[in-house]
Chains A and B, each alone.
Chain A
């Protein structure tokens, strides 16, 4: 079954404690993205990756890092989380940036930073 998986699904942490949210896709897609979703703001892109070892900033990259060492994995790293990073996070993958292409989303990670 084609899918995007994220772990953990829920995480409560404290300010400054480094954390990593993992993302994996089994569709051999080249393109992957991380989004955060906040009420009234919709989805905002944090980082995206066009292929292994190729990443770029999205609209809200401050406070986040990513890596793409393998095609299937695209972890999101928060080196020193702060309360304003409390949000719902989604990983997505797609095979191309063609205008008719479909983005496949993971189930989301709800992060609370105290």
Chain B
């Protein structure tokens, strides 16, 4: 069974702090995506990583795909209240061409 475990489940920090959230699995994936979901809305894609060791940056957000393509991290520098939301990771299901496997998410709150 392929599972994606996200940690922490919940994180509340002050504006300006740095943070890292994780998405881990014992399975190997060919790609992994990070989405952000704000209250009352559907998830929105932030980034897709496909190569082991790949690092992508999106302004203050840095995404890394593990060398073995089993895990990923999202680091936010100088967090702002606008970063508040639920961060979800999703990876391609190796058993099915038409499904993604989803983590349960990290709920992030940035206090002003």
Contacts and interface: CB of A to CB of B under 8 A. Distances in A.
Query: What's the dominant secondary structure at chain B's contact region?
Result: loop
Contacts of A97: 97-98
Contacts of A48: 98-99
B31 A99 contact: yes
A44 interface: yes
Nearest to B41: A107
Interface in A14-65: 31, 40-45, 48, 50, 56, 58-59
Contacts of B31: 99-100
A107 B88 contact: no
Contacts of A107: 40-42
Contacts, number: 53
Contacts of A103: 43, 45, 100
B78 interface: no
Interface in B90-112: 90, 92, 97-100, 102-105
Interface string B8-19: 010000000000
B29 to A, nearest CB: 9
Interface of B: 4, 9, 30-31, 40-45, 48, 50, 88, 90, 92, 97-100, 102-105
Interface of A: 4, 31, 40-45, 48, 50, 56, 58-59, 90, 92, 97, 99-100, 102-103, 105-108
